[in-house]
Homo-oligomer: A and B are copies of this chain.
């Protein structure tokens, strides 16, 4: 047998932070187990090549006790193990250890090589503000719904929502290409409606088409949407993959902002001792995969995130990570007009508030409800009652 070239690694590593829930006398063994499980996945005693043990296996950088029998463990992996692919990078972060109880991924950094591979969002907070010509204050976001409406009814909704002053109007994430509301007809009509409203108002409102779809269809629909003059894309990485979103963000021919939706991702974060932290899942991974804004169910709505979890999520949208830009958090999930000032006070001004159904709950005049939303947010911002994040 001709031997392989000797394993030649550059020594560059990146750090990943896990929380472990275990007895103190087990933490070092468990940390060491992660180092092996995520790389060679093989008994170290059987590895004959010292370059593999020294170069491939994860290395424990620190172990610090936290409260409630938990520990923060920092592990450094070689960049070469991550290759140049987002799928393998995520595998290295949390592939097999996702199957072990008591391990939670709470943060990671990007070393220089990884930062170059994953530039992150094309627009981010600053770029989205520039597109919209909204230099400060909360962005206002809404959705066209309910499922069951046809393309014309949805386009009419989009038109009135844009007239009323919304900045971002997204497809409901359950609208894909159903027989009663085909993608192409819906996207053409809604994009046209919002362009028309923008001409009338002189403002910029972006309509975001949902391109969560089967393999092959994603890119085709995104190009169709681009040609139809949409303002951006909605995508569910939990359903169609983080890498598919990265591919959309990197596409120079599209050059569209992307709003990420959390469908099918809840199981990753609901239990505090396993899965991914809110900051990693909705913040860091979305930025890594190029989202410019991240929808999540805020505390106090139809869902269950706590205030602390929401704050961790916000931190994930801004914490240093290579050269990736900060992105907009988009609290949602049962938001109402009567909670706008409370949400503004909590989330600060670098936020995009998403109200869906409640805009349609105040009588028939949707444009007037939107204007009320605009006023409430503007008032909260100008009164200075907003936290600076």
Contact = CB atoms under 8 A, between A and B. Distances in A.
Nearest to A51: B148
A161 B171 CA distance: 52
Interface in A40-94: 40-43, 46-47, 49, 51-52, 55-56, 80-81, 83-88, 90-92, 94
A316 to B, nearest CB: 16
Interface centre among A8, A37, A84, A96 (most CB of B within 10 A): A96
A43 B174 contact: no
A102 to B, nearest CB: 9
B101 A270 contact: yes
A39 interface: yes
Given A95-B263, A173-B95, A244 B241 contact: yes
A174 B214 contact: no
Contacts of A240: 87, 241, 243
B304 A100 contact: yes
Interface residues of A, number: 99
- Report the copy number of this chain in the oligomer: 2
B41 A356 contact: yes
Contacts of A357: 41-43, 46
Interface of A: 1-5, 7-9, 33, 37-43, 46-47, 49, 51-52, 55-56, 80-81, 83-88, 90-92, 94-101, 145-153, 156, 172-174, 176-180, 212-219, 236, 238-241, 243-244, 246-247, 262-271, 274-276, 297, 302-304, 333, 356-357, 360-361
